[in-house]
Chain A
Amino acid sequence: MGQNKFPKPIKKASLNNNLSHRSYASKIASPPKYILRAEDLSVGFSGKTVLNKINMDVAEYAVTAIMGPSGCGKSTFIRAINRMHDLDDKATVSGKLYLRKDDLFAASAMEVRRRVGMVFQKPNPFPSMTVAENVLAGYTLNGISLKRHEKEQLVEENLQKAALWSEMKDRLHDRGNFLSGGQQQRLCIARSLAIKVEILLLDEPTSALDPLATLKIENLIQKLKKEITILMVTHNTGQASRISDYTAFIYLGELIEYNKTKKIFTVPKDKRTERYLSGKFG
């Protein structure tokens, strides 16, 4: 795993202004190993561009946060990685996405989604399934049948990983929607981990949760990055600074700045990043 050579390096883009986002994108292309690369990724809805030519590499086994004001295109970006825009007839996606060596737009959407996990803003365990069935949903949904001991092992292992085992071990056969919001969200994380995704996308995973549940999820993310790459969207700059290793700032559909979290929060290079971080807008 790891040292993959990407098909082609990011082009040194023609610089429109002296602080083009591309120059940052290529400068940051120094995380030791990166697992995901976006090249000129654009997304539009009904002809209106929402995301404009994003170039970005995502570091492996690290937490990368994407922050920006509402409507800036940050969710649109991670939904593109999971091919969720395929479900919307009005969406048009262009550019390239690579997961390790593989062109994500060349593979089938089902295949991509089995490698790229996604946890949504609102916890969405399947209400018709029990806790255990929810963890195994990725297998059921793909028509894979498992033996009993495989099931038990997968359920325990992934609930452990999602820090939910001690709370859930006696309630495995309760319906998933009777859990608290935070538990539901961790169950959704366990569900993604169970199908052994290579990268986990989190779309504002704590915005519907109370502070305590948020703290638990944040701790979990910190722990999980040892075994999985995490790319998360947040509109909470505090959260980005607390738990991420790298931070990208997207504004009006453009990648404005992308750097190590420490750097971006202490010495932001772009005026807009600085203004956003100091609460002038967003």
Chain B
Amino acid sequence: MKSMMNRKRADRLFRGGLFGAAFLIPAVLLGMLLSLGIIFFDEFSEIGFQYFFSSDWDPVNERYGIIVFVVGTFLTMFLALGFSIPFSLAISIFTGEIMYGTKIATLISQLLSIISAIPSVVMGLCGLFVLTPIMQDIQLALGYPPYGTGFLSASMVLAIMILPFSAFLGREVISLVPKDLKEAAYGLGATRLEVIRYVILPYAKSGIISGFMISMSRAIGETIAVTMLIGNSNYFPQNIFGTTNTMASVMANEFSEAGSDVYFSAIVGIGFSLIIISALFSLTARKIIKNFY
């Protein structure tokens, strides 16, 4: 009888432990939002509502508007995604179907996981020393001022950084396409390309898109490499090589310079807005993926 009581108590403890662990992390998120929100809204009367609608970020004259950074964030994100999609898809198909289970596929996957493990700051450095000089040459040849940095350079490096996430997921879902479906398609006289296009990709579609979503949420928050390469100007880019800032890069760049409380709050506000935006983004992404099923 007693042992029964003990077992029941152990069961309750176990459940309580799981509950606690499961709710701790959401509680931390809430706490983060709260603390950022408090600092931000403390000075909100000084910052003003145009914060969310203005593209004028001028701390010297105490004018704060984040639209440039929001645009910069989405611009680099979509551009980086655009650069990475063809490569990511190709790698997924190559390692998940055509070469699945071979040594070459394993080698490629291992190399990719090394890429995903490279610290962001190292990627930024490589970008600065390898990509920027090349961009400068191109800019000179095309008659643009040769900065080398800019949202294009940042997006290119970002594309390499976010690629492994979608490539891995893509490989997984493609390798999970049932053999009997592929055989059915081959059995109807389809070529490999046709099987991939009409059977494998439609079947793996939702997984592949989820992979891109993961890549995108990685790109939204990527900070150091982007800060090093984007050129850090608080304006919309003037041309394809133009410099600008993302929400993350402006925070990293200006955080140490914030002299006044208002300036500080305005920067914290960017962090607050970034959390909201990425939350909205990943919720929408989930919805989109759900609709694909």
Contacts and interface: CB of A to CB of B under 8 A. Distances in A.
Given A120-B180, A124-B181, A126-B181, A87 B186 contact: yes
A53 B190 CA distance: 29
B198 interface: yes
B185 A141 contact: yes
A9 to B, nearest CB: 30
Nearest to A191: B188
B202 interface: yes
Contacts, number: 72
Contacts of B143: none
A142 B188 contact: yes
B194 A142 contact: yes
Contacts of A129: 202
A272 interface: no
Contacts of B185: 126, 137, 141
Interface string A147-176: 000000000000000000000000000000
B160 interface: no
B11 interface: no
Contacts of A188: 184
Interface string A176-198: 00000000000010011001000
A70 B185 CA distance: 25
Contacts of A137: 185, 188, 198
Given A110-B190, A195-B189, A84 B183 contact: yes
Interface in B190-217: 190-191, 194-195, 198-199, 202-203, 205
Contacts of A191: 184, 188
Nearest to A89: B102
A84 B186 contact: yes
Nearest to A84: B183
A279 interface: no
Contact of A84 (B181, B187, B188): B187
Interface in A40-93: 82, 84, 87
A140 B184 contact: no
A111 interface: yes
B203 A113 contact: no
B178 interface: yes
Contacts of A126: 181, 184-185, 198-199, 202
Interface residues on B, range: 20 to 34
Contacts of A192: 187-188
A109 B205 CA distance: 28
B188 A138 contact: yes
Nearest to B202: A128
Interface in A96-111: 109-111
Contacts of B187: 82, 84, 113, 117-118, 120, 192
A196 B198 CA distance: 20
A140 B188 CA distance: 10
A269 interface: no
Contacts of A127: 181, 203
A143 interface: yes
A114 B193 CA distance: 16
Given A127-B203, A128-B203, A142 B189 contact: yes
A95 to B, nearest CB: 21
Given A82-B187, A142-B189, A191-B188, A124 B180 contact: yes
A111 B188 CA distance: 9
A159 B190 CA distance: 21
A235 interface: no
A128 B186 CA distance: 16
Interface of B: 178, 180-191, 194-195, 198-199, 202-203, 205
10 contacts: A109-B186, A117-B188, A127-B181, A137-B185, A138-B189, A140-B198, A141-B195, A141-B198, A142-B188, A142-B194
Interface of A: 82, 84, 87, 109-111, 113-114, 117-118, 120, 122, 124-129, 137-138, 140-143, 188, 191-192, 195
A-B complex: 3 closest residue pairs judged by Cβ atoms: A114-B189, A128-B202, A141-B190
Given A120-B180, A126-B181, 8 more contacts: A82-B187, A120-B187, A128-B202, A137-B188, A141-B195, A141-B198, A142-B189, A192-B188
